[in-house]
Amino acid sequence: MARNLMSDEEWAFFERFILAVRAPNGRKPTNHRLVLDGIFWIARTGAPWRDLPEEFGKWSSVYRQFRRWTLAGLWEDIMETLNQSGAVPD
């Protein structure tokens, strides 16, 4: 079982951003929630990508999705929304 998985409420917040940047390409959809949990695991631990536990999927696939989302501006959109909501301190 994966460690520190996000709650349904947290996923509901992030899912709308992920769906907004998803490009239809005919490929089977990835479990974006698990990928995001893997990215957050890396962020929390500071571990190298190659040390990502297998329970999150292949590290290279998780990293590749992280890069796609980075290039699409996903993280900036999330941070801007969080800052505007006042839900978290600056």
Domain ranges, ordered by start, for the chain? 54-81
pLDDT in tens, 79-90: 888 888 877 665
* DSSP assignment of 26-87: SSPPP-HHHHHHHHHHHHHH---GGGS-GGG--HHHHHHHHHHHHHTTHHHHHHHHHHHHTS
Amino acid at 24: P
Q: How far apart are CA 51 and CA 41, in angstroms?
A: 10
pLDDT in tens, 32-51: 899 999 999 999 999 999 99
The model's pTM is 0.78
